[in-house]
């Protein structure tokens, strides 16, 4: 049983790796893979800013494969309660993803089903998450840290 799960996981990673490779080739984007199988890419914007996005593969509760996007906005600061309140209110208006906390870091995240994902949908989510996280980073942190 454990061996079949390992083989299935390896096949799923091969599919994900192939999908990322096709995206990289079609859209001329560099992705970097880490030892856990996650990918990162850095998108640059016209205003001399850039934003890194982490892309992972996981499964939802029913076992469907999900592509997850994460982009850091910044570390929590104790005296900015009104700005954080604003980001939570912003969640209701975002077209994709949501502002969330990951430990002590404010992030913007999004998830889509791998099965339903085509290259254009992947790029739209990737670009949106990077651009919106960069916008929020500049607004909330007054910096270009991530």
Handedness of CA 72, 73, 74, 78 (dihedral sign): negative
The torsion angles phi and psi of 33, rounded to 5 degrees, stand at -100, 135
Query: Quick one: 52 exposed, middle or buried, by C-beta within 10 A (0-12, 13-18, 19+)?
Result: middle
Question: Does 20 fall in a domain?
Answer: yes
Question: Does 76 fall in a domain?
Answer: yes
What's the total number of domains in the chain? Answer: 1
Q: What is the pTM of this model?
A: 0.78
- Confidence (pLDDT) at 29: 93
Torsion of CA 12, 54, 28, 16, to 10 degrees: 0
pLDDT digit of tens for each residue in the chain (146 aa)?
333 345 566 777 888 899 999 999 999 999 999 998 999 999 999 888 999 999 999 988 998 889 999 999 887 666 666 767 777 788 888 888 888 888 878 889 999 988 878 889 899 999 999 999 998 888 877 655 54
* CATH at 62: 3.30.1460.10
What domain range is 125 assigned to? 2-141
């Amino acid at each position: 049983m454990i061996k079949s799960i390992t083989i299935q996981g390896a096949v799923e990673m091969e599919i994900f790796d192939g999908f990322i490779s096709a995206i990289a080739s079609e859209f001329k984007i560099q992705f970097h893979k880490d030892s856990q199988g996650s990918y990162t890419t850095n998108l640059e914007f016209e205003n001399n800013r850039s934003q890194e996005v982490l892309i992972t593969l996981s499964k939802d509760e029913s076992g469907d494969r999900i592509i997850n996007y994460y982009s850091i906005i910044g570390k929590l600061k104790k005296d900015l309660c009104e700005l954080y309140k604003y980001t939570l209110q912003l969640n209701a208006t975002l077209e994709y993803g949501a502002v969330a906390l990951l430990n002590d870091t404010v992030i913007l995240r999004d998830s889509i089903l791998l099965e339903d994902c085509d290259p254009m949908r992947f790029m739209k989510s990737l670009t949106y998450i990077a651009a919106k996280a960069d916008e929020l980073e500049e607004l909330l942190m007054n910096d270009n840290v991530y």
